[in-house]
Chain A
Amino acid sequence: MAVTEPSLLKVEALRRQFPIFKRSFNGKELAYLDNAATTQKPGIVIQELTRFYSESNANIHRGAYALSEEATAAYEGARQHVAGLIHARSVQEVVFVRNATEAINLVAYAWGRRNIHPGDRIVLTELEHHSNLVPWQLLAQEREALLEFVPIDGQGRLDLAVLDRLLQQEPKLVAVGHVSNALGTINPVTEIVRKAHAAGARVLVDGAQSVPHQPVDVTEIDADFLAFSGHKMCGPTGIGVLYGKQDVLEAMPPFLGGGDMIRQVQLHESTWNDLPWKFEAGTPHIAGAVGLGAAVKFLQGIGMQAIFVHEQQLLATLLDRLQSLPYVSLYGPSDPAEQAGIVSFTLGHIHAHDVATVLDRHAVAVRSGHHCCQPLMERLHVPATVRASLYLYSTEHEVERLVQGIQDAARIFRLDRAVRGDARG
Chain B
Amino acid sequence: MDDLYQDRILDHWEHSPFRGRIEAPDAVADGYSKLCGDALHLELKLNGDRIAMIRFDGDGCIISQASASILAERMEGKSIAEAQRLDGPQVLQELGIPLSPARVKCALLALSVLHQALGEVEQERESNGVA
Binding site for B on A (CB under 8 A): 350-351, 353-354, 357-358, 360-361, 369-370, 383-384, 408, 412-414, 424
Contact = CB atoms under 8 A, between A and B. Distances in A.
Given A353-B103, A413-B5, A424-B14, A384 B62 contact: no
Contacts of A351: 36, 38, 60-62
Interface residues of B, number: 18
B4 A413 contact: no
Contacts of B35: 353, 369
Given A369-B35, A408-B1, 7 more contacts: A351-B38, A351-B60, A353-B103, A357-B103, A383-B37, A412-B2, A414-B10
Contacts of A360: 100
Interface string B92-107: 0000000010010010
B59 interface: yes
Given A412-B2, A413-B5, A424-B14, A350 B62 contact: yes
A383 B59 contact: yes
Interface of B: 1-2, 4-5, 10, 14, 35-38, 59-63, 100, 103, 106
Contacts of A413: 5, 10, 62
B63 A354 contact: yes
A354 B61 contact: yes
Contacts of B4: 357, 361
A351 B14 CA distance: 13
B37 A354 contact: no
A413 B14 CA distance: 10
5 contacts: A351-B60, A357-B103, A383-B37, A383-B60, A413-B62
A383 B65 CA distance: 15
Q: Give the most central of A357, A369, A414, A424: most B CB within 10 Å.
A: A357
A383 B5 contact: no
A118 to B, nearest CB: 34
Contacts of A384: 36-37
Q: Give the most central of B4, B59, B61: most A CB within 10 Å.
A: B61
Contact of B5 (A354, A369, A370, A424): A354
Contacts of A369: 35-37
B105 to A, nearest CB: 11
Contacts of A408: 1
A363 to B, nearest CB: 12
Contacts of B63: 354
Given A350-B62, A354-B63, A383 B1 contact: no
Contacts of B5: 354, 358, 412-413
Nearest to A374: B37
Nearest to B103: A357
A164 B53 CA distance: 57
A353 B36 contact: yes
A135 to B, nearest CB: 21
Nearest to A361: B1
B15 to A, nearest CB: 9
Contacts of A412: 1-2, 5, 10
Contacts of A357: 4, 100, 103
B62 to A, nearest CB: 5
A353 B1 contact: no
A358 B106 CA distance: 16
Question: Across chains A and B, which 10 residue pairs bring their CB atoms closest together, nearest first?
Answer: A351-B61, A383-B37, A353-B61, A354-B62, A412-B5, A361-B1, A353-B36, A354-B61, A384-B37, A351-B60
B66 to A, nearest CB: 10
B2 to A, nearest CB: 7
Nearest to A377: B37
Contacts of B36: 351, 353, 369, 383-384
Contact of A358 (B1, B10, B38, B60): B1
Nearest to B2: A412
A355 to B, nearest CB: 10
Contacts of B59: 383
B76 to A, nearest CB: 25
Nearest to A412: B5
Contact of A353 (B2, B14, B106): B106
Contacts of B106: 353
B70 to A, nearest CB: 16
B65 to A, nearest CB: 9
Nearest to B62: A354
A28 to B, nearest CB: 12
Nearest to A351: B61
A253 B82 CA distance: 63
B68 to A, nearest CB: 14
A358 B4 CA distance: 9
A369 B35 CA distance: 7
Contacts of B61: 351, 353-354
A168 to B, nearest CB: 37
B4 to A, nearest CB: 7
Nearest to B39: A383
B42 to A, nearest CB: 19
